[in-house]
């Protein structure tokens, strides 16, 4: 059974800092991995989708990397801003496992002025 873990569970950084969020998964037979942002009491906003054949994807100040063999993905946020404060979730889709996503525990990020 696929288990997805995110470390750290919570992170507080000063504005402007570059930061890395980590996601690890136990079954490396993944089809793709998706990073989401969740604001309190709100829905999930898709940030990046990275296919199993890709090593990284970039969107603006965000960069996601994937190392399937070690079961890890990282989300790099450059020049963090207070508006980046949210919970960040990673989710994996298994090869041959239909389209369902298995979600991680999330990292709650706070960017302080």
Partner 1 sequence: EPEVTQTPSHQVTQMGQEVILRCVPISNHLYFYWYRQILGQKVEFLVSFYNNEISEKSEIFDDQFSVERPDGSNFTLKIRSTKLEDSAMYFCASSPQTSSYNEQFFGPGTRLTVL
Q: Footprint of partner 1 on this chain (CB under 8 A)?
A: 31-32, 34, 36, 41-46, 49, 51, 89, 91, 93, 98-106
- If the CB atoms of residues 90 and 109 are measured against partner 1, the closer one turns out to be 90
**CB 4 → partner 1: shortest distance, Å?**
8
Q: 87 to each of 37, 45, 58, 74, 99, how far by Cα in Å?
A: 6, 11, 19, 15, 23
- If the CB atoms of residues 80 and 101 are measured against partner 1, the closer one turns out to be 101
First-to-last C-alpha distance (Å) of the chain? 41
Q: To which H or E segment does residue 81 belong?
A: none
**CB 92 → partner 1: shortest distance, Å?**
11
**CB 89 → partner 1: shortest distance, Å?**
7
- If the CB atoms of residues 14 and 43 are measured against partner 1, the closer one turns out to be 43
CA distance 108 to 45: 15
Q: To which H or E segment does residue 49 belong?
A: strand 44-51
- If the CB atoms of residues 35 and 109 are measured against partner 1, the closer one turns out to be 35
CA distance 76 to 61: 8
**CB 68 → partner 1: shortest distance, Å?**
15
């Amino acid at each position: 059974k696929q288990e997805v873990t995110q470390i750290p569970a919570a992170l507080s950084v000063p504005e402007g800092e570059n930061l890395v969020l980590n996601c690890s998964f136990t079954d490396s037979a993944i089809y793709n991995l998706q990073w989401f942002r969740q604001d309190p009491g709100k829905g999930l906003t898709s940030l990046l989708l990275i296919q199993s054949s890709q090593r990284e994807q970039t969107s603006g100040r965000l960069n996601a990397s994937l190392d399937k063999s070690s079961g890890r993905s990282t989300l790099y946020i450059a020049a963090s801003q207070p508006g980046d404060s949210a919970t960040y979730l990673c989710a994996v889709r298994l090869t041959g496992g239909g389209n369902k996503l298995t979600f991680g525990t999330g990292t709650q990020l706070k960017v302080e002025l």
